[in-house]
């Protein structure tokens, strides 16, 4: 397995997979091999189906988690072993499509105001004000803030795609205040890591998650809040304010408009645009004596 692991690692790096995905894929293939106590190059579709059932029934993994394991195995068989992979023989489980959590604008304001520290306050404002993903937020550079054009440059987003998002005047003022608060100015990162935010590396993705959790608890918001929720809020509130779907698609960096169309199901403006048929019925009123 050592040789195969090295070959897989080199192939993942050659194709520019992220470090987190690379680690996940290698661990998934190693777990598959350990389950059968056999080198993975000697296992086939029957073993994959059996392992898939094991992940569902024994480990109780969600359809999404099982799909991730299958993606790792598919990469290993196609790219590392150069073997065919049949979707018919190893079908992906169907995912449950659930609507994301959405906060009202009043709840977002409470969340930001309840930030634990000024640094957290800036992170929450940036997440909501720009709609960036958590990983994109953590890797923002000082040079990505373009105050002349009032845009934020997102470099190497999902799918290694670059894009620009709006930079609001309110967020620009906050970022300038954040920069003045830093004890040591980073030459590269907008949000430098370590305890005093003076490191040579950016913050990790746990920091924005903790910022959301602490603020939600202090604001007494019962909904589960994490960085991607603020991205959903950004898109939904833009739609409610009259922005068109194509513009929101570009701002979010979605490849397919279908990804963006989910916000039609979340926008109050669209939900309330048509009256319920119940409203047009002529119903008699029930009196307390009739109960």
Binning the chain into helix, strand and coil, the percentages to the nearest 5 are: 55, 5, 40
Residue 181 annotated in active site? no
Residues contacting residue 134 through CB under 8 Å, at least 6 positions apart: 127, 205, 208, 209, 227, 228
Task: Choose the catalytic residue: 69, 133, 197, 237.
Answer: 133
Residue 217 annotated in active site? no
Residue 231 annotated in active site? yes
Give the span between the Cα atoms of 253 and 151, in whole angstroms.
Answer: 14
Contact of 234 with 129, CB cutoff 8 Å? yes
Task: Choose the catalytic residue: 69, 231, 232, 237.
Answer: 231
Give the span between the Cα atoms of 47 and 169, in whole angstroms.
Answer: 56
Task: Choose the catalytic residue: 54, 141, 228, 270.
Answer: 228
Task: Choose the catalytic residue: 5, 35, 158, 270.
Answer: 158
Residue 254 annotated in active site? yes
Helix (H) or strand (E) holding 171: helix 169-181
Residue 158 annotated in active site? yes
- CA distance to 57, 102, 207, 225, 283, per residue, from 219 (Å): 39, 15, 18, 11, 42
- CA distance to 65, 74, 131, 255, per residue, from 94 (Å): 11, 17, 28, 21
Residue 49 annotated in active site? no
Helix (H) or strand (E) holding 31: helix 19-36
**What is the set of active-site residues?**
133, 158, 228, 231, 254, 263
């Amino acid at each position: 397995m050592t040789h195969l692991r090295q070959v897989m690692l080199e192939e993942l790096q050659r194709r520019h997979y992220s470090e987190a995905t690379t680690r996940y894929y290698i661990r998934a293939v190693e777990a598959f091999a350990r389950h059968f106590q056999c080198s993975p190059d000697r296992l086939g579709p029957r073993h994959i189906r059996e392992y898939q059932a094991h992940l569902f029934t024994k480990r109780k993994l969600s359809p999404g988690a099982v799909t991730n394991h299958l993606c790792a195995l598919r990469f290993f068989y196609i790219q590392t072993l150069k073997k065919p992979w049949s979707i018919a023989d190893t079908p992906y489980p169907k995912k449950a499509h659930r609507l994301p959590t959405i906060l009202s604008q009043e709840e977002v304001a409470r969340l930001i105001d309840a930030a634990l520290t000024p640094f957290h306050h800036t992170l929450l404002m940036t997440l909501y004000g720009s709609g960036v993903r958590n990983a994109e937020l953590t890797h923002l550079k000082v040079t990505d803030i373009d105050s002349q054009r009032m845009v934020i440059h997102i470099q190497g987003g999902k799918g290694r795609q670059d894009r620009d998002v709006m930079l609001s005047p309110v967020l620009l003022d906050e970022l300038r205040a954040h920069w003045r608060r830093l004890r040591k100015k980073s030459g590269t990162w907008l949000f430098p890591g370590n305890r005093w935010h003076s490191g040579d590396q950016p913050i990790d993705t746990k920091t924005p998650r903790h910022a959301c959790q602490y603020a939600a608890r202090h604001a007494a918001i019962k909904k589960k809040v994490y960085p991607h929720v603020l991205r959903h809020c950004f898109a939904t509130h833009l739609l409610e304010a009259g922005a068109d779907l194509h513009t929101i698609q570009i701002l979010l960096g979605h490849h397919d408009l279908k990804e963006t169309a989910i916000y039609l199901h979340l926008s109050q403006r669209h939900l309330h645009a048509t009256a319920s048929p119940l409203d047009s019925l002529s119903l008699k009123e029930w009196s307390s004596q009739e109960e």
